[in-house]
Each structure stands twice: as structure tokens, then as C-alpha cells.
Amino acid sequence: MTPRDIPVLETARLRLRPRSPDDAEALHPAFADHELMRWWSSGPHDSIEQTRADLAKEAPEWRTWAITLKGDDLAIGFVAAGEKRQGNVSEIGYMLARPHWGAGIAAEAVSCVIDRIFAEGQRRVFADTDPDNAASRGLLEKLGFKLEGVLRAEWETHIGVRDTTLYGLLREDWHGTA
């Protein structure tokens, strides 16, 4: 996918636009945040160059939107969606900078992307998260995702070998934007 293939999406408070390596300065504090990155597959970033390189290596099957507040183009996080089975199933992931936690922004942004995915005809969206990542699991459950299973010793991460919890959401179970 190229940024041209990623539509700009809007909610009451947010504008989601294609994320780019130019967002590295704005997103580096989140990628360098040890608490935020604890449950990520890789450790905290040591430099803005590392963040820039990470943002530049997007997989072609993924679309990634920068989360911005309306009226301010500064990225405060992102939502990514990767098509896993063409036309049917997508995986979703997200990150939000710590100063914006607790305001419902992640739920609003993720909901907006889910609306888009289902409007495009996908039948299922799933997410995987560390079993100990209570905030991420809480967000998924708030949005109506169902816990579908645990894969033991699934990931080798910077904090060791970790299990993953799989959450799924079917189009017919989706109740719309949070």
C-alpha cells in the first residue's frame, strides 16, 4: 500500500491520515517510552533514526493511519490494518502516546478504522495482544471483540518469550463507532 491508497478518515475529534516516516519526530517519544513499549514486539527506540527507519519499513499489505487531533496535523499515535485473507479478514494494531491515554482517543480511532474495514466488505477483524496488557485487552473488549484463544509461547520479544491472546470481531457483531 502507498499513502495514496490510504483514505483520510475523520471522527468528531480526530483526523486519521496516512502515517509516514515524516511522523518520526512526533511519534518518537511514544516509541521511546519504556512503559508503552513493554508489550510491543520490539523494545523502546533509542534514537529518532530508529523510529524513522521503523516507520519507513511498512509491509505492503498494511495500511497505517496517523492519529491526529482535528486542527493539528501532529501524529499522537496510529492505527494499522493488515489484510490477512484478501477481502475477508484483517488484523488491527494501534499505539497512542501516553499524554493522550484515558480520553477515549484510542477507542475512537480504532472504531473509525473498523468502520472502514467492515464498509469495505471484510467479514472479520482480529487483534493479538500480550495477556498481561490489560489496557489493550480492555480496549478490545470495550469495542466488542471476543477472546478467541491463547497461543502459548507465540512471540520472542525484548522481554522474553510471550504468549498472545487473540481477539476477534465479526461484522455482524459490530455496533459501530465507540
pLDDT at 1 over 60: no
Q: Show contacts of 24-30: CB within 8 Å, 24+ apart.
A: 24/48, 24/51, 24/52, 24/55, 26/74, 26/75, 26/76, 27/51, 27/55, 27/66, 27/75, 27/77, 27/78, 27/95, 27/97, 29/97, 30/77, 30/95, 30/96, 30/97, 30/98
pTM: 0.93
pLDDT tens string 42-96: 899 999 999 999 999 877 789 999 999 999 999 999 999 999 888 799 999 999 9
